């Protein structure tokens, strides 16, 4: 199966919203939520898709003059553990550096151990937390705030 990383187009928002609901069933985003976020200056969406499987992973991000942020990222359950989130994050880091951002930020639920391990493995460090930020079926979870420097290293120059 040949997968492609590309820019999200408006006609795909329904499919992305469905994948988001698979990833975040307690608080899924609607097509309208995605449209409103993508209308913000500096926001964009990218995805991984194939003709066989359709959309398997997505990222929505916001790149500003100093900081970039992952607004949401998800990988369809059937496509997990194949490095798709890592590909999306690496692409965002490259795009953000190119636009002059110095740091990439994100928030993740404190109980999302798989995502936290991924973020740590690509250089993110814990910066802080927001108590009780995420709704869960069992109550609430803290949001952990992570960041990574986008300063160029010698091998990236």
* Tens-binned pLDDT, residue by residue, of the chain (157 aa): 688 999 999 999 999 999 999 998 888 999 999 999 999 999 999 999 988 889 999 999 999 999 999 999 999 999 999 999 999 999 999 999 999 999 999 999 999 999 999 999 999 999 999 999 988 777 888 999 999 999 864 344 4
Q: Which of 92, 150, 94, 87 is nearest to 124 (CA)?
A: 150
Q: DSSP 3-state assignment of 80?
A: coil
Q: What is the pTM of this model?
A: 0.91
Radius of gyration of the chain (CA): 15
**Is the Cβ–Cβ distance between 125 and 148 less than 8 Å?**
yes
Distance CA 131, CA 54 (A): 36
Distance CA 149, CA 92 (A): 13
* Domains of the chain with CATH codes: 4-156 (3.40.630.30)
Distance CA 137, CA 149 (A): 34
């Amino acid at each position: 199966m040949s997968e492609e990383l590309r820019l999200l187009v408006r006609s795909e928002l329904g499919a992305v919203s469905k994948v988001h609901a698979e990833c975040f069933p307690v608080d899924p985003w609607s097509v309208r939520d995605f449209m409103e976020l993508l209308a913000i200056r500096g926001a964009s969406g990218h995805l991984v898709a194939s003709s066989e499987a359709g959309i398997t992973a997505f990222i929505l991000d916001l790149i500003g003059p100093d900081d970039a942020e992952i607004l949401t990222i998800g990988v369809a359950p059937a496509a997990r553990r194949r490095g798709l989130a890592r590909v999306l994050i690496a692409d965002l880091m490259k795009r953000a550096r190119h636009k002059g951002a110095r740091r990439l930020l994100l928030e993740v639920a404190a109980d999302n151990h798989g995502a936290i391990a991924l973020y740590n493995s690509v250089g993110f460090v814990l910066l802080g937390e927001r108590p009780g930020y995420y709704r869960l079926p069992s109550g609430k979870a803290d949001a952990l705030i992570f960041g990574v420097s986008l300063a160029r290293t010698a091998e990236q120059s």
